[in-house]
Amino acid sequence: MSADLTKTPTETPDGTADETGTASSRGAIPITAAQLPRFAPLLVAVVGAAVAAFFWLILGWPAVGSLILGGVVFLLALPAWSLAVEGRRRATDRMMTGLIWTSAVIAMVPLVSLIYTVISKGVGVINTEFLTYSLFATQLDQPPGIYHAIMGTLIITLGAAIISIPIGVLAAIYLVEYGKRNRLARMVTFLVDVMTGIPSIVAGLFAFALFTLLFGAGFQGGVGGSVALSLLMIPIVVRATEEMLRLVPDDLREAAYALGTPKWRTITKVVLPTTIGGIITGITLSIARVIGETAPLLLIAGLAAKTNTNPFDGAMTTLPVQIYSFNSRQETIDLAWGAALVLIVIVLALNLVARLIGKFYAPKTGN
């Protein structure tokens, strides 16, 4: 006797018959939801660009205002379209994504504009004579140069780094490894926070007063500029090193202590090698912070037309001070743009070197 495979009808609450095992279409839930096409953001961007071009070319609006209007059209049109097709959650996601990208573009505009302006106005001045001659003319037809300012910038910044890096790194090691939030550590942290916000001219005044007391009135030298810049560098080095040391897991320290390793050796062989990449990055940021300072160096380092490589004797010119001097006269403004381009290149080179050193000394990780 064969089994009856016919589905037995059942009576539904409204009195109609329905077969057992079949789902009612009235309560069915769709598996997929409606979505905008992949080219929807591009299409809306084209519409926004068309609106901006219309107001700029046809109605005569300013280019910046037309561009802003096109961006607003894009930010409003895409979420509205998504709300009508995809729903509220997807529309909110698209709106926030658009705002994030817009913020990133706005943040890049000043940087790109700055770099473009400096390169376009300064690249025509750069040549061999400009980089190898100083302002001290030994011949009647000698062109002006900034060699003396380049050497002064490198020497003074190197001196500031020699002073700041050991003090900053050791202070951060004390705060993280030894201080443990005791009274002295809290005081050091407070002083570092205060030093972070002091104006650069105050650091220059301090160095000027210090060397006036030590060597008499009228002292000018590169070492004074190094001391002034070190006051600005130390808090940045301390903060950067402190944050990187706090990222080291305590398990690494405890494992070294369990093997009988002394605390100082644990710091030098375990903690510092683990964080060397971040520490070098923080040091590079501190150098980039002070290499463009002008006010403190005007007070203590001075301005000279001749190349001086002795930081303990005589005035020493840096690139920011020389740019300030060039900009004060109409006939040398072009030279100021060239010196500014050289300064940017030096900062870029320092960042590249720091990244290479940090990558080389970073702890090796296996696959």
Q: Where are the domains of the chain?
A: 40-122, 147-361
**Does 25 have pLDDT greater than 90?**
no
Residue 26 pLDDT: 53
Pairwise CA distance, residues 324 & 335, whole Å: 11
Range list of H helices, 219-332? 222-246, 250-258, 263-266, 272-290, 295-300, 319-327
Looking at residues 318-337, what average pLDDT do you find? 90
Residue 32 pLDDT: 63
Pairwise CA distance, residues 225 & 282, whole Å: 21
Nearest to 271 by CA among 151, 150, 178, 141: 178
**Does 310 have pLDDT greater than 70?**
yes
Q: How many residues does the structure list for the chain?
A: 367
Average the pLDDT over each of 194-198, 221-225, 269-273, 355-359 and give the range with the smallest value. Answer: 355-359
Looking at residues 126-139, what average pLDDT do you find? 85
Tell me the per-residue pLDDT of 236-268, one tens digit each, with 9 for 90 and over: 999 999 999 998 888 888 898 888 889 889 998
Pairwise CA distance, residues 229 & 284, whole Å: 14
Nearest to 227 by CA among 206, 258, 250: 206
CATH T-level fold of 147-361: MetI-like fold (1.10.3720)
Q: Which of the four pLDDT bands, split at 50, 70 and 90, describes residue 137?
A: confident
Is residue 247 within 8 Å of 229, Cβ to Cβ?
no
Range list of H helices, 123-199? 128-132, 147-173, 183-196
Residue 100 pLDDT: 92
Alpha carbon 14 to chain centroid distance?
70
Report the phi/psi class of residue 260: left, alpha or beta, with left for phi > 0 and alpha for psi in -120 to 50: left
Angle between helices 63-85 and 88-122 (to 10 degrees): 160
Residue 285 pLDDT: 84
Q: What are phi and psi of 281, to 5 degrees?
A: -60, -45
Nearest to 148 by CA among 336, 310, 323, 306: 306
**Does 5 have pLDDT greater than 50?**
no
Tell me the per-residue pLDDT of 339-367, one tens digit each, with 9 for 90 and over: 999 999 998 888 888 778 777 766 666 54
Looking at residues 77-97, what average pLDDT do you find? 88
Say what the pTM is.
0.78
